[in-house]
Structure 1
Amino acid sequence: MSRPDAKELAALAARIKSWSAALGFQQTGIADTDLQLAGERLQKAVAEGRLADMSYMWKHGSKRFRPDELVPGTLRVISVRMDYLPPDDEAEALQRDPAAAFISRYALGRDYHKLMRKRLQQLALRIREDIGEFGYRVFVDSAPVLEKPLAVKAGLGWMGKHTNIINRHAGSWFFLGELYTDLPLPVDQPVAEHCGSCTACIDICPTRAIVAPYQLDARLCISYLTIELSGPIPERLRPLMGNHIYGCDDCMMVCPWNRFAIPTPETDFLPRQGLDQANLLELFCWDESSFLRRTEGSPIRRIGHEHWQRNIAVALGNGHPQPEVISALHSSRPRASALVKEHIDWALRQLDRRKGAKGQRG
Structure 2
Amino acid sequence: MTTNLTSAQAAPAPHLAPTTSPISYDDTQRANELLGSISRVFDQRIVGQHALRTALVTSLLASGHVLLESVPGLAKTLSAQTLAASVGGSFHRIQCTPDLMPNDIIGTQIYNYATGEFSTQLGPVHANLVLLDEINRSSAKTQSAMLEAMQEKQTSIGGEVFKLPKPFMVLATQNPIEEEGTYVLPEAQMDRFLMKEVLTYPAPDDEVDILQRMASGALTAPLTTQPIALADVEFLQKLVDKVYVDTSIKQYIVAIINTTRGGGPRPLPGLNQHVRVGASPRGSIALMRVAQALALQSGRSYVVPDDVKALRHAVLRHRIVRTYDALANNVPPESLIDAVFAAVPSP
What TM-score do you get using the length of structure 1 for normalisation?
A: 0.24
What TM-score do you get using the length of structure 2 for normalisation?
A: 0.25
